[in-house]
Amino acid sequence: MCDHCCCGKNASRFLAGIAAGISLAVGGYYFFTKTAKGKQIKKQLAKKGEELAAEFKEVVDEIEEQSAEWKKKVGSVGNELTHLTELRDRVESLRDRGRRAVKFFTSGGKKLA
């Protein structure tokens, strides 16, 4: 340890925190296992935990169902997008053919008539 910093203070705070944590854990264990009120509260907490777990499972199931629906929608949108891309390519091809035809029938920007 050094004289000019607070290393000793931090170490003692750490040990105090460890001691407080151990004390709370032992007290909680005793309360929830040895006293009638603690046992009652433990049962209530367990029941509430089961209810929350059931609600959480329902929410997860709903999310999974919605994600399956969204996957279907995304798939159909992907198919439509593929079709539109093919149409765009076809239009570009026709546009290029039209431009080549215009160049064929003109000379120096004037019609060949």
Kindly report, residue by residue over 71-102, the tens digit of the pLDDT. 888 888 888 888 888 999 999 999 988 888 87
pLDDT of 59 > 90? The answer is yes
Q: Buried b / exposed e across 50-85, counting CB within 10 Å, b at 16+? A: eeeeeeeeeeeeeeeeeeeeeeeeeeeeeeeeeeee
Predicted confidence band at 12 (pLDDT cuts at 50, 70, 90)? confident
- 59-63, 73-77, 101-105: segment of lowest average pLDDT: 101-105
Classify residue 71: in a domain, yes or no: yes
Classify residue 26: in a domain, yes or no: no
Classify residue 20: in a domain, yes or no: no
Classify residue 48: in a domain, yes or no: no
Classify residue 21: in a domain, yes or no: no
Overall domain count for the chain: 1
Classify residue 36: in a domain, yes or no: no
- Which residue range is the domain that position 74 belongs to? 54-111
What percentage of residues in the chain have a pLDDT greater than 90? 39
Predicted confidence band at 22 (pLDDT cuts at 50, 70, 90)? very high
pLDDT of 1 > 60? The answer is no
